[in-house]
Structure 1
Amino acid sequence: MSDGRRLRVPVGVALAVSLGAAGLLLAYPQERDKPTAASRTNLATAWPGAGRAEIPGNLSDGPIFHPQLFLDARTSIGTAPSPDGTALRLVLRAADGSVRELRRRPLTSHPEFGTMAVSGADLVWTESAGGGPTELWTATASGAGVRRLTRDTGNAVFFGSQWDVVIADGRAWWATATDDPDVTEIRSVPLTAGPVTVRREPGTWALTAWPWLTDGGGDQTGTTRLRTLTGTEERRVASTGTELATCGPTWCRVLVLTPSGLDRIDAMHPDGSERRRIADGTAGAAITDVAILDRFEILSEADANSALTGTEGLLVHDLRYGRTVEVSAAVDGVSARNGVLWWSTGDQDSLVWHTLDLRTV
């Protein structure tokens, strides 16, 4: 396709996906010693000075706010309907609760403000409406200088990752599908606007931490290779047919599978070194991305009431110190970008957004 519409996969790694992969990959459990399970502690004990906040779910003018990016524990950018219900707004919500509107589009056009990235003072996001192509927009992180970068986005492929759009070298970068399933386009545009540059990469790739590409982002085979955009280096991931690895350039999350399902979750470097067990089979990946800030693996854990309540426990495994921090017993809507983790509690009438700035721990 070439109309700029995005292909999507769900955010997070559900056990159902793991089992689907097991059906394709699994013959017998892997014969190896299991790494020792990580120790556990609570949030207050582990990180008493971390930046945290509880933010009302509704804006001061009434509508429910859905954050898409936090600049710090209290300052965020996200979407909310207009008070009269006629438009969807993209707004910057300051630490004091005040709101600055960046963009709005009529609800009748079925608008979507999507993937968002920030680097220093530069903010970039995608938006689409009315069946038109996905557009790339930019502003400063303070909300000034809003302008469109390009409509020439191709068939952009987004996976619910913080790396779907990457800001690097003065440009915004993203991946697009092509008519050839064995070729991926890596597109970029200057943050000052200008023509889009297109680079064709043999294989099926997604962007990860700059300047790397990762394969296997949208299927059930997991990551097998990493390739750099600034040179010729390519890395093979050390995993077996009984495992499903999801990797960035520094760490991999490894689902270890058995005929009956998920046995445990390990972490390792892409070359297989420093492998360790970080969770049992009762846990799952709460977000798509691996090892936030090259240190924190975000996990969820169901309990006996999860099927009824729709909530799960939220855990953060600290790869630096080899311990798991219990963040909350019952959460919903977990996300992490720009080093800030956030989640929701409550319902439509009592929604609260909770944040943990992992850059401050």
Structure 2
Amino acid sequence: MAGRMRSGLFGLVAALVAAGALLAQTPVGARSPKTPPPPVAAAWPQVTRATIPGTLPDGAAYTPVYFLDERASVGTALDPRGGGVRLVLRAADGAIRELRRGTGRFYAGFTRDGDQLVWAESVTAEDGVTRTELWRAALAGGAPRKVTADTGWVSFENSDHDIVAAAGQLHWTAAARSSTEIRSVPLGGGPVRVRTEPGAWALTAWPWLVSTGSGQRGPMRLLNLDTGQTTTVKAGDDTPDQCGPTWCRLFALRGDDPVRSVLMRPDGSDRQTATDDGATAAIADVAVLDRFEVLAGDSSTLATAVGGARLLIYDLKTRQLVNVAEAASRVSYRGGVLWWSTSGGDNTTWHSIDLRTV
């Protein structure tokens, strides 16, 4: 019995000495290793994803600008015959339908209203003035139709809310002297209605506006266009980066610590830290689908070798961080679908994930 007691005592002492040695080797203030975020396949096994070639059948490089689902997309490609930039619809089976083409054209502001695809089309004329028109096309087929050329000094933020479709109307913002124009037109075309709000504003989820350039002009604000209600964002000592009516994004700095990506309600409640290791927003929109914050983290070894950064998504519903890709470039989001590119030599591949299926 005494032998067993001495043996147990010696074992306990040895364990304490080993633990002390480990503590002595750990720098004061060092953080414990974190469990890496799970990959998409483990976190969301039901989600739909796809991989799309970066070229069209005619060999032209293809850049998607809007996804209808994880496979079908709208994108741009140069015409190999010198016809300028083409806007094409690439079906899930790879079939190509050309929507528009022309030299010096720029396409932006994509959105969808039922079976209608909507976009803005800008062309710089010989006089140096850039003019922007709104167009629409039925996804089932038929020629595209111009909605309006009365767009004002349209301003886009590369956001899912650049053009908002609501109740049969298309809404967008245009710059004016010391104010912002909120312009609206029926989807089928017609007279454009203009409402002016003092200051700088951008559209977010309809019917809300969010103030822009707030750093030197006071706190960030939200304005409901239907009711006139104004909400001042309560961020405390932190600086809001972007807000919608449901969530706000903050970048919090404390001393020499890495920046923390924080989400909260506009009234300051329900604060959640998405990451505390320096990861920042990968897209303009905050908490897409009122649930997912898309982040670009530190470059992985793979990303350093081939370009890009680690792509992460923080799920506000489950409070879980998910690893989407190790080396993502050209990250974009529209209408529920997130997409990005990867490069392998001279080849580009596009990847998509339909967050509506999580």
TM-score range, shorter chain: 0.7 to 0.9
Runs (4+) of structure 1 exceeding 2 A deviation are 37-40, 141-145, 217-223, 240-245, 257-263, 303-310
Q: Is the 8 A contact 2:51 2:349 kept in 1?
A: yes
Question: 1:115 corresponds to which residue?
Answer: 109
Residue 129 of structure 1: SS of its match in structure 2?
strand
User: Does the aligned pair in 2 maintain the 1:92–1:101 contact within 8 Å?
Assistant: yes
Q: Cα 1:126–1:96, aligned 2, differ >3 Å: closer, same or farther? A: same
SS of the residue 1:359 aligns to: helix
| Counterpart residue number, 1:130 | 124
Q: Distance in 2 between matches of 1:349 and 1:202?
A: 49
Is 1:96 aligned to 2:90, yes or no? Answer: no
Structure number with the higher helix fraction is 2
User: What is the letter of the counterpart of residue 232 of structure 2?
Assistant: R
> 5+ unaligned residues in a row in structure 1: which ranges?
1-36
Deviation at 1:39, TM superposition (A): 8.0
> Secondary structure at 2:317's aligned position in 1?
coil
Length-normalised TM-score, structure 1: 0.83
Check conservation: 1:172, 1:188, Cα contact below 8 A. Answer: yes
Counterparts of 1:234 and 1:357, CA distance in 2: 33
Give secondary structure in 1 for the equivalent of 2:42.
helix
2:41 is paired with a residue whose SS is helix
Query: How many equivalent pairs are there?
Result: 320
- What is the rounded CA distance, in whole Å, between the counterparts of 1:307 and 1:237 in structure 2? 38
Cα distance in 2 for partners of 1:142, 1:102 equals 12
Residue aligning to 1:202 = 198
Q: CA deviation at 1:143?
A: 4.5
Q: In 2, distance between residues paired with 1:97 and 1:223?
A: 48
The structure with the largest alpha-carbon Rg is 2
**Following TM superposition, by how much is the alpha carbon of 1:299 offset from its aligned partner in structure 2, in angstroms?**
0.4
Contact 2:300–2:310 (Cα < 8 Å) also in 1: no
SS of the residue aligned with 1:164?
A: coil
1:158 aligns with 2:152: no
State the SS of the aligned residue for 1:45: helix
1:300 matched to 2:293? The reply is no
- 2: CA distance between counterparts of 1:230 and 1:39? 44
Secondary structure of 1:250's counterpart equals coil
**5 Å matches for 1:1-361?**
40-106=37-103, 110-131=104-125, 132-179=130-177, 181=178, 183-216=179-212, 224-258=220-254, 260=256, 263-303=259-299, 309-346=306-343, 349-361=346-358
Look up the equivalent residue of 2:279 and give its one-letter code. Answer: A
Unmatched segments (≥5 aa) in structure 2: 1-33
Q: Which residue of 2 aligns with 1:34?
A: none
Aligned equivalents of 1:254 and 1:194: distance in 2?
Answer: 40
Note if contact 1:315-1:328 (Cα within 8 Å) is conserved in structure 2: yes
| C-alpha distance after superposition, 1:116-168 (max 9, x if no partner) | 11122122101112334111111123343411111111111111111011111
- The Cα offsets for residues 93-112 of structure 1, whole Å up to 9 and x where unpaired, read as 00000100001112xxx211
Report the RMSD for the aligned CA atoms in angstroms.
2.2
Q: Distance in 1 between matches of 2:219 and 2:73?
A: 31
Q: Is the 8 A contact 2:239 2:250 kept in 1?
A: yes
Mapped to 1, the partners of 2:61 and 2:53 lie a distance apart of 9
Normalising by structure 2, report the TM-score.
0.84
Do the aligned partners of residues 252 and 78 (structure 1) sit closer, same or farther apart at CA in structure 2, a change above 3 Å counting? same
Q: Is the 8 A contact 1:345 1:352 kept in 2?
A: yes
* 8 Å CA contact retained: 1:70, 1:338: yes
Cα separation, 2, equivalents of 1:63 and 1:292:
31
SS in structure 1 at match of 2:121: strand
Higher relative contact order (CA 8 A, sep 6+): 1
Query: Partners in 2 of 1:341 and 1:198 — Cα distance?
Result: 32
Determine if contact 1:243/1:257 at 8 Å carries over to the other structure. Answer: no
Please state how far the C-alpha of 1:262 moved relative to its aligned partner.
5.1
How far apart are 1:276 and its partner, in Å? 1.1
